[in-house]
Amino acid sequence: MLYNNLSGYLKEKYGKRVRKICIDGGFTCPNRDGKIGTGGCIYCSERGSGEHIKAGTSIRAQVMAALSMATEDDRFIAYFQNYTNTYAEPHVLRERYDAALIDERIKVLAIGTRPDCINEEVASLIASYRERVDVWVELGLQTASDATAKIINRGYDSSVYLEAVRVLKKYGIPVVTHIMIGLPNEGESELRETVKILNDADPWGIKIHSVYVAEGTTLAKMYRDGSYTPIDMETYIERAAYVLTHINPNAVIHRLTGDCPRELLVAPSWNTEKNAVISGIVKKMESMGAAQGKYYRV
Ligand code: SF4
């Protein structure tokens, strides 16, 4: 295998395929509710990711619905996906995480959040779940460039990400970092900086997203007024191969594409060709004679 993918990791660890239950935990986001900002990140859709999850359903009902179609032999990850899933008082967080962990077949609690919503109290609470299940926290970094962070209205500097990783690691919590390829004004030099911060932080896992333009976002307005042009598929493949070959060979790769629901996708059209993108990345790495981490330097 040219890179360590998540499904291989899970199969080795649990002896079988492990599936995700994507959960809308009923949170909001400080970059939307006015605490930090109101507009949100420019690519963020109305549902704060997880658009396919039925809105307004309780956490327990969402988990029960997924389990109702499962066999006794299945294993699951409870993945809190929409918005910022550490943005509440610790007792509220506990209540909501507990509402998801209702079956022995759920082996992992995965929590997606912003680095500026991690602190010692939150990390300590999340670490306490390690007695029951495996745990990881997913941090949306997207880019190391603070100039790009302003353009995308991320709402925090990259140093905040490094501090969040430090706190989570202190509590023994594996971190998964999300990065995006194809952000406005980003080229190879910004990508090199992003790889550098990844290698400095050394997260356990990495999610690589291709930027897509979803209906209803600020990015859709920028696309329509000509101030944003998505990169083409070939460029994406080259840049994703660059990232894979320059990061820690042990990092677990959770994702290699962006995944916009078809009905919301404005551009680029190649976003729907997930298999072609992944096989393009593999072919590119084969042509380079390089597996994950070949050019990794600490
Ligand atoms: S941090 Fe996440 S939920 Fe909040 S605005 Fe940005 S993408 Fe949306």
- DSSP for 233-284, please give it: HHHHHHHHHHHHHHS-TT-EEEESS----GGGEEE-GGGG-HHHHHHHHHHH
How far is residue 108's CA from residue 269's CA, in Å, rounded to a whole number? Answer: 34
Instruction: Please tell me the predicted confidence (pLDDT) of residue 48.
Output: 62
Instruction: Locate the ligand 1 atom nearest the alpha carbon of residue 43 and give its number.
Output: 7
Alpha helices by DSSP H, the chain: 6-14, 59-67, 90-100, 120-128, 146-151, 158-170, 188-201, 218-224, 233-246, 274-288
The alpha carbon of 113 and the centre of ligand 1 are apart by a number of angstroms equal to: 8
b (16+ CB within 10 A) / e for 29-55: bbbbeeebeeebbbbbbebbbbbeeee
Query: What is the C-alpha to C-alpha distance for residues 117 and 212, in angstroms, rounded to an integer?
Result: 25
Residue 13 makes CB contacts below 8 A (sequence gap 6+) with: none
pLDDT digits (tens, 9 = 90+) for 254-264: 999 999 999 99
The count of other CB atoms within 10 Å of the CB of residue 198 is 21
Q: Quick one: which of 105, 194, 89 has its CA closest to 141?
A: 194
Instruction: Give the per-residue pLDDT at 55.
Output: 67
Domains detected in the chain: 6-288 (3.20.20.70)
Residue nearest atom 3 of ligand 1, based on CA coordinates: 83
Pick out the chain residues at pLDDT < 50: none
Q: What's the confidence (pLDDT) of residue 1?
A: 86
Atom 5 of ligand 1, nearest CA residue? 40
**pLDDT digits over 123-148, tens only?**
999 999 999 999 999 999 999 999 99
Alpha-carbon dihedral sign for residues 123, 124, 126, 130 = positive
Distance CA 195, CA 192 (A): 5
What sign for the dihedral angle of Cα 230, 232, 235, 239? positive
Q: Is the CB of 31 under 6 A from ligand 1?
A: yes
Q: Is the CB of 211 under 6 A from ligand 1?
A: no
pLDDT for the residue numbered 297: 86
pTM: 0.97
| CB of 257 closer than 6 angstroms to any ligand 1 atom | no
| Short-list 119, 121, 101, CA closest to 110 | 101
Q: 130 CA to middle of ligand 1, Å? A: 26
Of the residues 28, 83, 139, which should be mutated to test ligand 1's pocket, given the most ligand atoms within 8 Å of the CB?
83
What pLDDT shows up at residue 56? 74
- Strand, coil or helix: what is 180? strand
